[in-house]
Structure 1
Amino acid sequence: MRISLRHTSIAILLAAFGSSLPLLAAEKWPPAPDTEWRLHGNDWGEQRHSTLQQVDTDNVDQLGLAWSFNMYTRRGIEATPLMVDGTLYVSGSWSMVYALDAKSGELKWFYNPEVDRAFLAKGCCDAVNRGVAYADGMVFVGTYDGRLVALNAKDGAVIWDVQTTDREQPYTITGAPRIAGDKVVIGNGGAELGVRGYVSAYDIKTGKMAWRFYTVPGNPADGFERPELEMAAKTWTGEWWKWGGGGTVWDSMVYDPELDLLYIGVGNGSPWNQSLRSPGGGDNLFLTSIVALRPDTGEYVWHYQTTPGETWDYTATQHMILADLEVDGKLRKVLMQAPKNGFFYVLDRSSGELLSAEAYSAMTWASGVDMKTGRPVETPNARVFDGKNVSLPSNAGAHNWHPMSFHPGTGLVYIPQLTIPIRFLQATNERDRQPGQGYWNTGFDRMGNVVEDIPNLEEVLAQVYTSQLLAWDPLTQSARWSTDVGLLGGGGVLSTAGNLVFSGNATGQLNAYNASTGEELWSFDAQTMVMAAPVSYAIDGVQYVAVAAGFGGGAAAEAGPLFHGRKIPNLSRVLVFKLGGEATLPPVPDQERAMPKPEPVTASADAVTQGQVLYQRHCSYCHGDSMRTGGLTPDLRYSGKAVHDIWQDILLEGVLSARGMISFAPYLDEKQSEAIRQYVLTEANKLYQRQQAAASARQ
């Protein structure tokens, strides 16, 4: 009896003490009002600012992991999660959608659109997805193979599924849909492979297409879909339609319900090199433009072109933010954008009038923007593509897709800024100077991207390529503060009323900064890349910060040399934090890999050189320049005998199409395929000898 009473007493004491824990926590951290994150950018202006302030500059150092969820794939993760009615909706690679309990991380349902992996060859920048949209109890996702799917938010059941693209053409979808009234709007990508861009709107309930707006004109002989395209055609020359033209709306769109306007950001030309697609020059509308449309009809209202005659891949698809700012003593409804070209623009979003534009990043292509004409003032060497002239920004841009944030309290826009120079080399190969679809053709020779074969390549590149989290004042058009975020830039940004800015980076950290000063206040080792923008929500008085993290994206494939040797784990996760969180992540998997001894090279030096040229033209976009893969795709230098034995079957027969490695028979013959193999063996032997020498030195 005594033992029983003692246990009962202890149970009563524990129960009493336990019941006081929430109260003690509430006294330590005042409860936060329940707050959702229902829209891609949180509010209609896509400011990506949270009004929550339970987590602030004084206590952010007590932020800990509340829970994590491992996704089912191992590719790039770029999605902004949504939180609606206690459920976190997040998309992963291959357009998969996860519905998670926002407090516990428990999986409620999962949707797999079953995208054919061969579509990987139709995209430029990994099988990523930047998020879903929510409306009327439905979750909408664009799939990599060009579909728009409406799901029941409660159980993930498919309500409707429509194909928005021609599956025979190299279109993909990686961007998040947007809700505009009773329409859901979606764009697409594929300009690097020769398509014509457009944006489409669908009825939310039925999935029936309401309208389509093409961003570049087609063949004039076929007529024009809309009157403004006839106007746009006058800014093109030659037979641009045979090249596709480009102008894909692959990321940013924003809807203003007050003005009932939909703003779309238009991408680069196809090919990039204007001298091929429009040999007589011209502005090439509506490339690299912000275009305002009526969401009910797709009717054109106004446009502003950031880079007339685009030729560097300077897209205007980057994040757009709507705000009301006092400009020159007058309250203006503005749209702000920091596109790839390096200028920060403030436009009147009612009319498209340019209010201000200043460089937020170093550049060589322009000296400023003429406020009378709204046009950039190009430098004399801006269009010199001899493989020696340095272009800055590069095609990666001064700011890429990673969302920025506007903090109404500080009045600052926080931009993930890049400084990456490049040397473009005019294409001389006849194939690259002819229009075509389905293969990479930028109009520039990829040999211009060959990197030196030196042991300390990563250290050298780190001296050249820099990146900052930049706090930008849109009124004075000047930087308030900046902080270095490591090689290849920071991730998307969240600002909060706790005077905090959250942003991840490519080397595996999620960081919190003082929004006023830029001082780093907190850091968490995410073990993998954090490219996507965090979000914040509150349930039952607790504020959470959530981010989707995962290694991959275009930079990890195409810009392999920047990641090569950094051994960033290829993980895909959802990470959710709260004050006092005590969850932990498992240890990082071992990244070391033994290199098999390569077979000897049997080809001539000329054949190996030809193999290098062919590799750069066909393989480098996924396997990295000069075979310096970032780790997203296999490092071909590590290929063993089993791979080399079926080399021709892989390259020409497509035996690995189910993994995304399609047949290159339309572009290569058996002799050329073997030349690439001999180049791979040459590089493999160099690396093997270097590793053996290093091992001997350690002994």
Structure 2
Amino acid sequence: MKSIILGVVCVSLALFISCENKPEALIYDDSAIANESQTENWLAYGRTHNERRFSPSDQINADNVSRLKVDWFMDLPYDVGLVSTPLVIDGVLYFTGTMNVIRAVDAVTGALLWEYNPQVAKEIEGKKTIGWKHNRGISFYEGKIFAATWDGRLFALDAKTGEELWMVRTFSQERSLYITGAPKAFKGKVLIGNGGTEHGPTRGWVTAYDADTGEEAWKFYIVPGNPADGFENEAMEMAAKTWTGEWWKHGGGGNAWHGFTYDEELDVLYIGTGNGSPWNRKIRSPEGGDNLFLCSIVALKPDTGEYLWHYQTTPGESWDYNSNMDIVLTDLTIDGKEIKAMLHAPKNGFFYVINRETGKLVSAKPFVKTTWASHIDMETGRPVEVPGARYEDNRAYITPNPYGAHSWYSMSYNPQTGLVYLPALHYATNYSDEGMDLDNWQAQEFIGGLGVAPLEAEDPADYPASLIAWDPVKQEAAWTVPQEMTPNAGTLTTAGNLVFQGRADGKLLAYEASNGEVLWTYNLGLGIAAPPITYEIDGKQYLSLLVGWGGGAAGLGNLFSSKKHTTQQLGWAYGTHIRRLVTFSLEGTSEMPPLPPPYFPIPLEAPEFEVDTAKAAFGAQLYGLCQGCHGGGVLAAGMAPDLRASQIALNKEAFTAVVRGGTNVAAGMPAHPDLTDEQLDALQHFIRQRARETLTE
């Protein structure tokens, strides 16, 4: 048995645990991280600087993939919401777990080598905070591991020992911001952004820090601030001309929480930027305007952060169509011309091929049904919007919905097949700002708001998700696999003519990359949100991934979607299924114990609790603070306990201690110290009301 249970191998309670000495990590610079030919390591979030998630390894291939078996696994009993991409450097696998704990394990045996805990619970104890306790990944550069915490700290660790080298705070804890994304290390620097667009009047930015010292190297704001304060640079002065009204009072948004790519060949840094704060442009920029640099790819000089060029995918956006998705680099031959291209599939439903030398659009086509825009004008590069899409007439049926046609779940690109393997979503929403006082609308820190109400709508397709093999030259699908549950994890493709993807239903599949035929399926017994990686050691190829249902869908649940397809239907209840790191090979012999079947919490009846409908209505307004983790409509989807079935939610003293006092902060439940007794009482009545309503559904 090669199972390694966390806490058995290493029992020290210290922040840093070292269990075994490993050889000095090699010093990998940018040229090494950009090298597409090496197979031993997985050095960056997307394997290399090019973010293709393609491996030239072909030991595991279409002919033998059906023989894959578990080689080793590690149980992670204290983790939830595992969504990250591991790294492999010189025989060591590194990954981030719940509450930003970093672990290093032997990539051949799974033995724990060291663990580092940044003590997020202590950092947020007693403070107002928002965000999620999961994280998408870490970064590596010249012997250091870089990671960021939910509460806004960035730190560097010695890759060999796990020793903390430096730590910096990237934003004040008085701000309603958080970090769930992976830092990007490049050229002696490490870049980080943040999220929080919906939680307050936010102005997005990214910051680069010196990789050796943690000292700030440069900062780039994504949207302009108050003109009366002056502009940080010419780019902000230019951007301000595309805004109207007093946008700075609303922050503007643009938060870059994911989607950073370094072009080692051209020495350019690309960042994907976020949506508006608030979503509704009628509020933040009432006379219109493109609102640069929202929903854009912005090219910067990596040494200074100086603006080079931008391409905006959704000018003046009003639908949460951020462009924080993968930015993949490759060379394409189009109409007989070799183009240094970037491939980008943001939330808005269009697949973009952009010349990464100039920022000029090469082509763009919808990869799902889009009702907000009919097409992209190739002369201007702008979308041609459908009349009424900005909910001018009170309500507009829009697809994609706020989850997007493609979210942060990674796509991969195989240069041998010439195809991109894209996890797509097929959802719609009715957008409406009817009844809102747009002239006096104002978000507050830690309360936030959207400035629009996304309402339930019928899905535009018979299936909520699909795996699409997209030809970026022809701008069309080569093949499509409809999927009955959603969201499904990111993809990996290899020279073995394979595509791997984990799904929300707990199954890991291998497809033939050229035609989409299913070649292998393994049921891991728990929803998968993390993408797989592959690496070779001593001539043996491994396939590894984290198994632990998580991400926004495990928190928000059915919010913004129809009742036809909801994540609650999966049965990945909080605390029921143990999380794991699982590694496969063609020679695997490990026996992995099965997990329990799906479980659906039953709401408590509690007839002694008399619901006051007025208090419940007040509680429904307050519940927005809770729904990001406990689910829309108090229907939990796996990130946090189901409050309808919670004894704590029935006991006033216990409920107050957890919600206001923060007694469960170690499990990721932050304190809400400003909530009054009246508000806590109202929340209890709303939860109890929803429990009774759902008992009869």
TM-score, with length taken from structure 2? 0.88
Single out whichever of 257-266 and 571-580 deviates more from structure 2: 571-580
SS in 1 for 2:311: strand
| Letter of the structure 1 residue corresponding to residue 276 of structure 2 | G
How far off its partner does 1:435 sit? 3.1
How far off its partner does 1:159 sit? 0.8
SS in 2 for 1:230: helix
Equivalents in 2 of 1:606, 1:142: separation in Å? 42
SS in 2 for 1:169: coil
How far off its partner does 1:540 sit? 1.0
Structure 2 vs 1, CA of residues 279 and 642 (structure 1 numbering), >3 Å: closer, same or farther?
A: closer
Query: Would you say 1:290 and 2:294 are equivalent positions?
Result: no
Match of 1:437 in 2: 445
Structure 2 vs 1, CA of residues 33 and 250 (structure 1 numbering), >3 Å: closer, same or farther?
A: closer
Equivalents in 2 of 1:191, 1:258: separation in Å? 33
How far off its partner does 1:57 sit? 0.7
| Letter of the structure 2 residue corresponding to residue 563 of structure 1 | T
Match of 1:693 in 2: none
Query: Would you say 1:152 and 2:155 are equivalent positions?
Result: no
Query: Would you say 1:196 and 2:203 are equivalent positions?
Result: yes
| 1:214-613 matches, cutoff 5 A | 214-384=221-391, 388-426=395-433, 428=435, 433-445=441-453, 448=455, 466-560=464-558, 562-568=566-572, 570-589=577-596, 591=599, 595-600=603-608, 602-613=610-621
| Letter of the structure 1 residue corresponding to residue 108 of structure 2 | K
Equivalents in 1 of 2:377, 2:313: separation in Å? 12
Equivalents in 2 of 1:499, 1:524: separation in Å? 18
Answer whether contact 1:162 1:207 (CA < 8 A) is retained.
Answer: yes
Structure 2 vs 1, CA of residues 461 and 566 (structure 1 numbering), >3 Å: closer, same or farther?
A: farther
How far off its partner does 1:645 sit? 2.6
Residue number among 177, 180, 183 corresponding to 1:174 in the alignment: 180
Question: For structure 1, which runs of at least 5 residues remain unmatched after alignment?
Answer: 1-31, 452-459, 691-699
Answer whether contact 2:77 2:578 (CA < 8 A) is retained.
Answer: no
Match of 1:15 in 2: none
| Letter of the structure 1 residue corresponding to residue 141 of structure 2 | A
Residues 112-151 of structure 1 show CA distances to partners (whole Å, capped at 9, x for unaligned) of: 1111374897444x21211111111111111211111110
Query: Would you say 1:186 and 2:184 are equivalent positions?
Result: no
SS in 2 for 1:685: helix
Match of 1:637 in 2: 644
How far off its partner does 1:197 sit? 1.1
Equivalents in 1 of 2:136, 2:212: separation in Å? 23
Equivalents in 1 of 2:343, 2:514: separation in Å? 20
Equivalents in 2 of 1:604, 1:162: separation in Å? 47
Answer whether contact 2:279 2:317 (CA < 8 A) is retained.
Answer: yes
Residue number among 69, 75, 78 corresponding to 1:73 in the alignment: 78
Match of 1:457 in 2: none
Match of 2:633 in 1: 626
Structure 2 vs 1, CA of residues 61 and 145 (structure 1 numbering), >3 Å: closer, same or farther?
A: same
Equivalents in 2 of 1:592, 1:189: separation in Å? 31
Equivalents in 2 of 1:427, 1:162: separation in Å? 44
Query: Would you say 1:37 and 2:37 are equivalent positions?
Result: no
SS in 2 for 1:302: strand
SS in 1 for 2:474: coil
How far off its partner does 1:614 sit? 3.7
Structure 2 vs 1, CA of residues 344 and 602 (structure 1 numbering), >3 Å: closer, same or farther?
A: same
Matched pairs, number: 646
How far off its partner does 1:641 sit? 6.7
Residues 60-111 of structure 1 show CA distances to partners (whole Å, capped at 9, x for unaligned) of: 0000111111235332112111111100111122111110100000011011
Match of 2:17 in 1: none
Answer whether contact 2:93 2:107 (CA < 8 A) is retained.
Answer: yes
Query: Would you say 1:135 and 2:141 are equivalent positions?
Result: yes
How far off its partner does 1:656 sit? 4.5
Equivalents in 2 of 1:66, 1:254: separation in Å? 32
Equivalents in 1 of 2:76, 2:169: separation in Å? 26
Question: For structure 2, which runs of at least 5 residues remain unmatched after alignment?
Answer: 1-36
Structure 2 vs 1, CA of residues 255 and 427 (structure 1 numbering), >3 Å: closer, same or farther?
A: farther
State the superposition RMSD in angstroms: 2.5
Match of 1:27 in 2: none
**Rg bigger for which structure?**
1
Residues 463-513 of structure 1 show CA distances to partners (whole Å, capped at 9, x for unaligned) of: 865111100000010000010233113211100000000011111111100
